[in-house]
Amino acid sequence: MRLSRGIFRKNVFRKHLALFLITILVPTCLFLGVYMYGYANNVKESIVSASNNDMDRVSRNLDIFFENTDRIALQASLNPSIVEMLNRPFEKSAYDFFVVKELLRGWTSYNSLFQSVYIHILQNNKVLTTNEGLYSLNDFYDAAFIHEMDRLGRSRYAVWTGVRRFHESTGVNTVDSDVLTFVRIVPVTEQTPLGVLYINFNKDVFLQTIEHLSPDSLGNIVVIDPQNRLASGPVDGLDAEAVARELQPGQTRTDVLGHGPNKYFITASKSAVNGWTLLNLTPYEAYSGQMSHILLKVSGIFAAVLALGIGLAYLFASILYGPWRRVEERLQGYVLKTFEASKGDVYAVVDHAIHNLIDTIRHNEPVLRDHLVRDLFHYPHPQDDRTLRDRFAEWGVPFEHPYFIVIVISGELRIADRENESRYNLVLYSLAEELLNTRFQAAGSVLGKVQFAFLLNTERSELQEETIHDLEACCQDIVTKAREHLDVSMHFCIGGVRPLHRVHEAYEQARRVMAYKAFLSHSGIFYANEWNEPQQFEYPASYQKLLLNTLMTGNREQAEELISDLFHRYIHNSRYPLPKLQQMLVMLMSHIMSSLAQEGYDIGPLVDEAGLLNLQTSGNSLELQAFISNQLKSVMDYLEAVREQRQISPYIRQALTYIEGKYKENISISDIAAAIGISSGHLSRLFKAEVGKSPLEYLTEYRLEQGKQLLVDSAQSLNQISEAIGYNDVHTFIRFFKKYEGTTPGEYRKQWM
């Protein structure tokens, strides 16, 4: 038992330790990581900020130095002696040049920064220096640099500044030194330059001056001239000139460059005004040292949190062992008898008992879920969708979205095995549930014989095109799979989208539409919301009259055309109320039966055989149309059989021939009787007995039939048609047409058009 208790404690300890790692240690690691990231950024920002401050001070000192140098060029441009010399160099004597030379020497001798100053006189190509005097350009010791400036062009060297190697003549020897040279066009106040002023500063003295102006910063700053040449000394492991070449004027950038002991944080800035580049170097050890210190501190915090978590996990495992032990003792009489392998293992005993309870609940989940779904379909519920969805989640159907599509599935088994009918019903339900769950989260209920209803969870409050595509794909899969296993026809009706407490509305809507499936599209998938808005419906009295006359005359092709047109107008392509459509067909067939009875036909056998009112045997509107057509064919077959049994006398046959030949003329019953040689009264009695109507009624109906053909097949006016069928005026034709057909000739023509 001690061993099992130790195992139990280990299991609980591991779970609490895992819980601690997830809830405490992982967030702690994230927090420490964010803290270190922020600290590193702060250190970098402080280094960059200090570098920028140092470079700003040096940059301001450089600007001051360059402004003072530019003043010398401006002063030379404004001096009358220098301007006069530049304008008329050929008229000046040696003394005049000496005066200008001494003037320049006086400007520069007070400052040790100046190494030499000379002016290149462009008109006579002479060079006047402050130290040696007047030179011809070709004899001047710094002629190579002047020629180099000429090659650049005056637009380039008008404000040229840079560090270079200077070769200065001392009379006997030539001395090489590094100088900072400023080249300026003089006079600066005129558009046409007359000379070029060259001012050379000793580079070392220049750097010492800058260091004196910014003593706290220059030791870390590298100065580079506009030609990307080093003015200060080189830096080990760093190509400062390459860094300067990559910068654009006005750009400032911070990078980490170098490697090993020569690794630096470098803040580089190139002036957009004078083109000089300043690099501030901070040894990388300044950053890495601070980060090492904070890393040591973070590691200590992490270790402390981890040790605390391990201790708390073990403490909780020991505390929780007591309640679990008591639960195990209470379950011994119920679980241990059937679970011998778990003796001594408290966790296994409790776990096995819980699993038994879960298995029992899951075993009854389908029944409970089916009852809940059925109640939702048939009864309204309080507006508390969350509670209902929680109940579904408890039974293994976690509905994530707030809206539900209601779909009703109805089928008709064509199998003869009635003993296994309930089994086939369950097979179809399981098949539909499985295929619907491939695209939706679904729950359903069996409503009756091959009739099911399902709830499909959806995110949208209305049917979207993508959802409709998925629904129709599921329905098609169900039909395909059902045909593979059973001989069954399937119909689907989508009732709409509702929240959970209102799905009974969508179900009722779908159920009503499914009751009229014979009047719906042949696709097998119906949408109940398409029939929500009833339209004004007018009973087709004209079709009724036409159809009855066609049946009486035995014109099968015209009867088929009338039925096709009737279904096309009212059923296939319309949105009339479904109950109205059913009533229309019932009334139409009932009128045909009653009219046949009034004509003296015995319709008892016809009704018994045809079953004209059994409309719901059809699966869709196309099957219903075929059903009605077959019933009308049966009626015409019956009428033809009755007529064959009847004997028509020679007098009546002659009368019919006379009427059909003379209907275009103004004939009367006396004319018909005289033509066949009997009296008018005798003709009327014989005609009524054998034909079922009077001679004048037959004549009128025959004329109207011919008139209908002309209305449909020709473009003649009503006057022309009335004269062609034997009426003296059009008003008589219209009156009889409306009496027998229930509409005017013009309206009849519009309907056919």
How much is the pLDDT for 279? 85
Q: Give residue 84's pLDDT.
A: 86
CB-based contacts of 212, cutoff 8 Å, min separation 6: none
Q: Please tell me the least confidently modeled range out of 439-443, 595-599, 615-619, 677-681.
A: 615-619
**Structure-token pair, residue 553:** 């005359």
Higher pLDDT, 270 or 261: 270
Output the pLDDT for position 322: 63
SS3 113: coil
User: In angstroms, what CA-CA distances link 688 with 277, 649, 679?
Assistant: 125, 12, 14
Instruction: Quote the tokens at residue 487.
Output: 């001989």
Whether the bond between 695 and the residue before it is cis, its omega within 30 degrees of 0, is no
How does pLDDT run across 636-673, given as a tens digit for each residue?
Answer: 887 777 766 666 778 888 888 898 888 888 888 899 99
Tell me, what's the pLDDT at 344? 52
- Inform me whether the pLDDT recorded for 19 exceeds 80: no
Residue 625 has pLDDT above 70, yes or no: yes
SS (H, E, C) 690-745: HHCCCHHHHHHHHHHHHHHHHHHHCCCCHHHHHHHCCCCCHHHHHHHHHHHHCCCH
Alpha carbon separation from 697 to 366, 659, 688, 702 (Å, rounded): 70, 11, 10, 8
Q: In the chain, pLDDT over 90 holds for what percent of residues?
A: 0
Residue 257 CB neighbour total at 10 angstroms? 20
Residue 511 pLDDT greater than 70, yes or no: yes
pLDDT at 621 over 70: yes
Instruction: Give the pLDDT confidence of 524-561 residue by residue, as tens digits.
Output: 777 776 554 455 667 777 777 778 777 777 778 888 88
Distance of alpha carbon 267 from the chain centroid: 46
Average pLDDT over residues 145-151: 85
pLDDT of residue 468: 85
Percent of the chain whose predicted confidence (pLDDT) is above 70: 79
pLDDT number for residue 228: 84
Dihedrals φ, ψ of 280, to 5°? -100, 120
Residue-by-residue DSSP string for 587-599: HHHHHHHHHHHHT
Task: Please report the pLDDT score of residue 345 as a whole number.
Answer: 60
Please name the residue ranges forming H helices in 79-119: 80-87, 94-108
Question: What does the buried/exposed string (b/e) look like for 655-687 if buried means 16 or more CB atoms within 10 Å of the residue's CB?
Answer: bbebbeeebeeebebeebbebbeeeeeebbebb
For residue 466, which amino acid is it? E
| pLDDT score recorded for residue 368 | 65
Containing H/E element for 178? strand 174-186
Alpha-carbon distances, residue 362 vs 3, 265, 427, 512, 620 (angstroms): 34, 66, 20, 34, 40
Tell me whether residue 188 is exposed, middle or buried, using C-beta atoms within 10 angstroms of its C-beta: 0 to 12, 13 to 18, 19 or more. Answer: middle
Cα 183 from Cα 157, distance rounded (Å): 6
pLDDT at 623 over 60: yes
> What is the spatial distance between Cα 308 and Cα 588, in angstroms, rounded to a whole number?
89
φ, ψ of residue 530 to 5 degrees: the values are -70, -15
Mean pLDDT of the chain: 78
Query: Which of 12-21, 254-263, 294-303 is the least confident region?
Result: 12-21
Residue 318's pLDDT is: 65
pLDDT at residue number 339: 47
pLDDT for residue 3 is more than 50? no
Name the least confident of 148-157, 457-466, 558-567, 720-729: 148-157
Residue 702 predicted with pLDDT over 80: yes
Mean predicted confidence (pLDDT) in 122-148: 86
Higher pLDDT, 640 or 721: 721
User: Is the pLDDT higher at 450 or at 119?
Assistant: 119
Taken as a whole, the chain contains a residue count of 753
- List the structure tokens of 367: 């029944």
pLDDT (mean) for 674-701: 86
For the range 250-259, what are the long-range contacts, defined as Cβ-Cβ under 8 Å and sequence gap of 24 or more? 252/52, 254/44, 254/48, 254/51, 256/284, 258/284
For 473-505, write each residue's pLDDT tens digit: 888 888 888 877 777 777 888 888 888 888 888
Question: Is it the case that residue 706 has pLDDT exceeding 50?
Answer: yes
